[in-house]
Amino acid sequence: MFSLITGFLEEGESPESAILRETEEELGLTGHECKFIGHFALAEFNQLIIAFAVETYGNIKLNEEIAEVKLVAHDQLATFDFGCLELTNTVVSRWLKNA
């Protein structure tokens, strides 16, 4: 099962800074542009997910939080099977619609 990378805001950190930090920590990639996709409420966890698309450069270097990555071509994302991860499907669909 594949999903999107996630993380939490540190004290005093903006959402944009957080996603750039998490991208570097989890994937070893440097982000230089992030575009807001949308916000998504997860009431059952008392969380608000703020989603961004991040343009990156560098070579993927996984940390201990991620076991595997799968690169999916842009034209295959609309039909990629994210399994039971409904929020991932929603975020990707919104991004594709506005990209």
Q: Indicate the domain borders of the chain.
A: 15-98
Query: Average pLDDT of 5-25?
Result: 94
The answer to whether 31 and 55 have CB atoms below 8 angstroms apart is yes
Asked if pLDDT for residue 1 goes beyond 80, the answer is no
Question: Could you identify the residue written with the tokens 């966890």?
Answer: 45
CA dist., res. 62 & res. 23, Å (int): 10
In tens, the pLDDT along 23-82 reads 999 999 999 899 999 999 999 999 999 999 999 999 999 888 898 999 999 999 999 998
pTM, entire model: 0.87
42: Cα within 13 Å, side-chain hemisphere: 13
CA dist., res. 49 & res. 64, Å (int): 22
CATH match of 15-98 with 3.90.79.10: yes
